[in-house]
């Protein structure tokens, strides 16, 4: 496998490390670490304020992009004045000749629209399922004109698009050495993620109230009014908000939990939090929706329940003794290790570059 010069384009909805970018922050960092470890050269382009202990970041100023999941299907594309997204891609245009491949991690229209205007090939890692008509349309355009350059995480995510067969499934992965296996947990449950309506945390709180089993909550409170309403609606639920913790602290506390409740209201592509839980030996109780249906080994590494059914969550919680924490860790090591992910990414890059050799910018 030759070594490549890679330019990673981050999400424009928040600085890397802020938590605003959700799972894609962790995905980008994990892949970048592994590509560097394998001898590739790499620079990450991200909004001003992005931080990373070990990754080379080029910070770009400008106004953040609005999160796509807050838009309705027919909403037009909004590009604010001094858009950080536009500024990031103007930078990419200027430096593209130094790179063999650009990898786009943003779920945004502009990078996809600009693809034919670039000489350097662009690989798009699409991090969510179908959300808006404009995104569906532009992704399909790129899938048709640049076959093999549209990557997704899972089959259920791909299935939300009419062009599922043109999407390459990359699954996901993370650095398992950061996650300690815990065989003897406490009695409490966990919920991890951005606290926002599409994540459905109110159902996990309701299940904690019904079962009386304490629920520890980790993640960025992205929608404050939403969180405050839940606290008002369930004043005596046994919940404890633990904050938005860095991976090292999160995995320490998450490993102590009996199970992770995953309550997505939408098609979550491939929630990183589920992989993190498995890596700590924590079984998953999740709605039968999105990427979790491809992750949970029913009855062994968790349970899939009727979507939006709190009663379903409660029944699964009472069956937790059937699950096997060692099997959870084993599943993470087999499929979600960062080296398994690195192999899938390098193969993807190789396939793109051998099928669409770099067009040397006209001298
Ligand atoms: N919205 N506009 C936009 N762009 C993104 O890159 C983006 C987003 N919403 C959510 C998101 N990325 C990530 O949190 C998920 O893809 C994981």
Whole-model pTM? 0.88
291 lines ligand 1 (CB under 6 A): no
For each of the domains in the chain, give its residue range(s) and CATH number, in order of start.
5-173+337-362 (3.40.50.2000), 176-335 (3.40.50.2000)
Q: Tell whether ligand 1 has an atom less than 6 A from the beta carbon of residue 24.
A: yes
Distance 70 CA to ligand 1 centre (A): 10
The residue whose C-alpha atom lies closest to atom 8 belonging to ligand 1 is 67
To test the pocket of ligand 1, the residue of 128, 172, 195, 270 to mutate (highest count of ligand atoms within 8 Å of its CB) is 128
Which two three-digit tokens encode residue 248? 């090292």
Helices 224-233 and 201-211 sit at what angle, rounded to 10 degrees?
20
Tokens of 112: 């996809």
Q: 271-286: per-residue pLDDT in tens?
A: 999 999 999 999 999 9
CB 265 within 8 A of CB 199: yes
What is the percentage of the chain residues whose pLDDT exceeds 70?
A: 98
At 360, the pLDDT band (50, 70, 90 cuts) reads: very low
DSSP assignment of 135-150:
HHHHHHHHHHHSTT-E
pLDDT digits (tens, 9 = 90+) for 20-55: 888 888 899 999 999 999 999 999 999 999 988 889
Q: Is the CB of 157 under 6 A from ligand 1?
A: no
Residue 286: beta bridge partners? 262, 304
Q: Decide: 11 in ligand 1 pocket, CB within 6 A.
A: yes
Banded model confidence at residue 356, pLDDT cuts 50, 70, 90? low
Decide: 77 and 41 in contact? Cβ < 8 Å: no
- Answer whether 67 contacts ligand 1 (Cβ < 6 A): yes
Q: Is the CB of 87 under 6 A from ligand 1?
A: no
Residue nearest atom 7 of ligand 1, based on CA coordinates = 107
CA 93 – CA 120 distance, rounded (Å): 9
Q: Which of 67, 76, 195, when mutated, tests ligand 1's pocket best, judged by the most ligand atoms within 8 Å of its CB? A: 67
Residue nearest to atom 5 of ligand 1 (CA): 107
């Amino acid at each position: 496998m030759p070594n490549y010069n890679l330019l990673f384009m981050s999400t424009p909805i928040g600085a890397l490390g802020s938590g605003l970018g959700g799972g894609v922050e962790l995905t980008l960092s994990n892949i970048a670490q592994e590509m560097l470890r394998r001898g590739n050269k790499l620079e990450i382009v991200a909004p001003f304020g992005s931080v990373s202990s070990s990754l080379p970041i080029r910070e770009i100023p400008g106004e953040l992009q609005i999160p796509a999941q807050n838009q309705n299907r027919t909403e037009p594309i909004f590009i604010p004045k001094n858009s950080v997204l536009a500024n990031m891609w103007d930078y990419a245009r200027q430096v593209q000749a130094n790179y063999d491949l650009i990898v786009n991690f943003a779920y945004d229209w502009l990078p996809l629209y600009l693809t034919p205007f670039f000489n350097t090939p662009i690989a798009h890692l699409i991090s969510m399922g179908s959300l808006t008509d404009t995104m569906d349309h532009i992704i399909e355009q790129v899938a048709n004109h640049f076959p093999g350059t549209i990557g997704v995480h899972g089959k259920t995510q791909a299935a939300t698009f009419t062009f599922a067969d043109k999407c390459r499934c990359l699954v996901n992965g993370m650095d398992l050495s950061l996650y300690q296996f815990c065989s003897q947990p406490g009695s409490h449950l966990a919920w991890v993620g951005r606290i926002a309506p599409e994540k459905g945390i109110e159902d996990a709180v309701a299940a904690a109230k019904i079962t009386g089993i304490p629920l520890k909550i980790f993640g960025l409170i992205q929608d404050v009014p939403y969180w405050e309403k839940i606290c008002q609606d369930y004043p005596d639920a046994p919940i404890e908000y633990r904050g938005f913790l860095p991976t090292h602290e999160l995995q320490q506390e998450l490993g102590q939990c009996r199970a992770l409740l995953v309550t997505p209201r939408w098609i979550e592509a491939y929630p990183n939090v589920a992989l993190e839980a498995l890596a700590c030996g924590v079984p998953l109780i999740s709605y039968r929706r999105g990427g979790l249906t491809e992750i949970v080994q029913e009855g062994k590494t968790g349970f899939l329940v009727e979507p939006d059914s709190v009663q379903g969550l409660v029944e699964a919680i009472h069956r937790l003794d059937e699950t096997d924490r060692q099997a959870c860790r084993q599943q993470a090591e087999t499929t979600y290790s960062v080296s398994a992910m690195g192999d899938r990414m390098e193969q993807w890059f190789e396939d793109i570059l051998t099928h669409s050799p770099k067009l040397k910018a006209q001298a």
